[in-house]
Amino acid sequence: MEKPSWRIRRRIIIATLLFCAGEIIYLTLFGDDTSLAETIANGVLILAGSTIGSYVFGAVWDDRNVMAMRKPDPGTTTLTATYVEPQPSPQQTPPPKDFAG
């Protein structure tokens, strides 16, 4: 199974980030100091942060799903770990049963 192409997703993400950068530059250079411009700037920054977060975590999620669907190669072995309770050595004495004396 081949990994899905991120070409279209990457184009959408880059276009969104360029839009956000353009809006911030426009508001910085030509925008008036109003509450509307401040609200737009906050929304654009949140959009950029959400886009970056979705891109990173979406890639991780997608890779994890692809790896889960991939069947293991017949030539590989799977190692499992088991916990073995350590046994006291003969030199060790067991602790006293009553600490009061």
Residue 27 within any structural domain of the chain: yes
In total, how many domains does the chain have?
A: 1
Whether the per-residue pLDDT at 8 is higher than 90: the answer is no
Residue 76 within any structural domain of the chain: no
Residue 46 within any structural domain of the chain: yes
Residue 34 within any structural domain of the chain: yes
- DSSP tag of 22: H
Could you tell me the residue range of the domain that residue 20 belongs to? 7-69
- pLDDT tens for residues 21-58? 999 999 999 989 999 999 999 999 999 999 999 888 88
pTM (predicted TM-score)? 0.59
Query: What single string gives the DSSP state of each residue in 25-77?
Result: HHHHHT--SSHHHHHHHHHHHHHHHHHHHHHHHHHHHHHHHHHHHSPPPTT--
Residue 74 within any structural domain of the chain: no
Give the model's pLDDT for residue 96.
Answer: 67
- pLDDT tens for residues 72-96? 666 666 667 777 777 767 776 666 6
Burial of 20 (0-12, 13-18, 19+ CB in 10 A): buried
Residue 98 within any structural domain of the chain: no
